[in-house]
Structure 1
Amino acid sequence: MNRATQQGNRSSTVLGRRLGSELLRLRDESGKTQQQAAQVISATNSKIVKMERGWVPMRDPDIRTLCEFYGLEDAKLVSRLLEVARLDRERRKAKGWWNQYPELRSLVEYVALEDIATGVRTWQGAFVPGLLQTPDYARALAVGNADWDDPEEIERFVEAKVARQARLADSNPLALWAIVAEGALRQLVGGREVMRAQLERLSEAAAEPNVTVQVVPFLAGSHPGMTGAFSVVSFAEPGAMDVVYMDTTSSTLWLESEKDAARHNVTFGRIARNGLAPRDSIALIGRIRKEL
């Protein structure tokens, strides 16, 4: 699923669908119909359909009225919904730097959301997460993927990847928790010099207060992360209105339901428990670097 899902002349966004699914859940639990919901906000049934499917940006008054009508008394949850609606409106009209890079391809929607997220928890078994990659490492990955014909495209892709990393050091820095498999740190992407620099970058990043790095060692044996990599993107405190991102060889997949987010948060926690503590992880990274 790329930047938006098209439905005729409408388009949905990841945040819009996440918000719509939450409103649909609240309506179902309250026993209200779409027609009743439409009447309470003086709208048509089709507007409720569009809202619940994430096809349109949502107004704060409509969200407040519907929440009250559905009997939602949790003020904190209402505030979360309003915040997601605000972020979605901003996302729909945003002309961010990422739009200058068609080389990002399916990553465009992810990078746009990363720009407004409060936190990312990412598990990677095959390579170092993009937010922590050096330019040389990112370039070697792009070349190794054999997915690029034009060297200039590769350079622009690397430039865009590096630009993402500004989120880790801006005035409201992204909270990043990255768990990486030991095998990814031993894979000689780009050769020994490139890997030495990449491992040094990991150690430096881990010293920042908003970055946590863990390594799952070979000795951990079988663990829940072996089924595949994923990232959980948060737009409030962890666990509140999260979405899950998975990038495969053939497609980009967003899991937007509360159930999917909760399941992946549990899986992430289990992977973390199989990993070394942050201090021990950095020590292992240092040892691997010396071996190179």
Structure 2
Amino acid sequence: MPKDFRATTLERSIGRRLALWRDERGLSLAEAGQRVGFSSAKLSTMENAVQPSTPLDIMALGYVYNVPTPEWQAVVLRAEYAKTARMGGGSAEPHFDPTADFANLVFEATELRAFTTDLVPTGLQLPSYAHAAGSPERIVQLAMVREAWATRLGDKDPPMVEAVFPEGVLRPVVGGPRVMKAQLLHLMEISEHSTVTVQVIPVVAGAYPAMGCPFTLLGFPHRQHNDVAYLETVIKGEYVEDQALVEQLAQRFAELQKIALSPGESLELIAEAAADL
């Protein structure tokens, strides 16, 4: 294992796929490890991306699990790319879609910090609001992200969620007055959750850092899984994994929180917007 290994989002997606193969066959770590000749500890570190998965090991698992050849070959190619990228070579992996993968990271995160500019953060949206605001091809992906957020917030150990957005998000009547009012009331309700903080940047604040540039920061419990930033445009989603850039975005988020109204004042502003509908 590389010294001080830090798994990339691509390597984490490979680990999830290996775990999915095993789960689909109803095998425990010990049973699967015995079949392939791995210790259960090694298999666990591969599935959790605590160590890189080598193409040979993936090939062995694909054979033992009786995975269709094209499927395990595709994962082997990803592992080969990940190894090349770690050594400083390669370009963007063509078969890895951060937009489709984002819900997985949301589910694994212990800290979520979201800054949006036009809409309520995805995880805090109601289905009716999301349906009115999203494009048809994004509806399923948005639903997966919402489900991941909702599931985690209902856990015994829910993630810390911090959301910041401008007052302008509260004013457009997305989906009609009934849908928008329900969304604002939902924001008020969820903001009372002990691990959720919602702050609104008032119009009078003027210009502010990262204006027009939404992003989400995700933090994870495992030491070998670095914080990740997720950016999305109308065309595609993108992960930012360079830790210097992630830290810059974290500083921007802290600045946005200072400019925004307090959670209590933000709640009052949301309530006023709901009353106006």
TM-score, structure 2 length as denominator? Answer: 0.63
Structure 2 residue runs without a partner (length 5+):
1-6, 13-40, 43-47, 62-96
1:112 aligns with 2:104: yes
Partner of 2:144 in structure 1? 160
Q: Secondary structure at the match of 1:224?
A: coil
Deviations 1:258-292 (A, max 9, x none): 10111000000111111000000001000111011
Per-residue Cα deviation, 1:105-156 (whole angstroms, up to 9, x for no partner): 75321111111111110100110011110111011012xx3x44xxxx84x5
What is residue 166 of structure 2 aligned with on the other side?
A: 181
The 2-side partners of 1:269 and 1:171 are apart by 27
Distance 1:139 1:124 in 2: 17
Give the SS at the match of 1:172.
coil
1:86 has 2:50 as partner: yes
Please give the root-mean-square deviation of Cα atoms over the aligned residues, in Å: 3.3
- Aligned 1:122-161 pairs, distance under 5 A: 122-142=114-134, 145=135, 147-148=136-137, 154=139, 156=140, 159-161=143-145
Residue type of the partner of 1:120? Answer: L
- Residue 14 of structure 1: CA displacement? 1.4
Does structure 2 retain, via aligned residues, the 8 Å contact 1:87–1:116?
A: no
2:98/2:239 contact within 8 Å kept: no
Match for 1:112: what amino acid?
N
**CA 218–178 in structure 1, closer or farther in 2 if over 3 Å, else same:** same
Q: How far apart are the structure 2 equivalents of 1:124 and 1:88?
A: 34
**3-state SS of paired residue (2:268):** helix
Q: Distance in 2 between matches of 1:195 and 1:88?
A: 45
TM value normalised by structure 1: 0.60
Give 1:16 deviation, angstroms: 4.1
Aligned-pair CA distance for 1:241 = 2.4
Q: Match of 2:271, as an amino acid?
A: G
Q: 2:9 aligns with which of 14, 22, 39?
A: 14
Q: What is the number of equivalent residue pairs in this alignment? A: 199
Q: Alpha carbons of 1:254 and 1:168: their partners in 2 closer, same or farther (altered >3 Å)?
A: same
Please tell me whether the aligned partners of residues 122 and 142 of structure 2 are also in contact (alpha carbons under 8 angstroms): no
Residue deviations 1:213-263 (CA, integer Å, cap 9, x gap): 0001111100003140001110149xx921111011222111111101110
- Alpha-carbon distance between aligned partners in 2 of 1:120 and 1:275, rounded to the nearest angstrom: 17
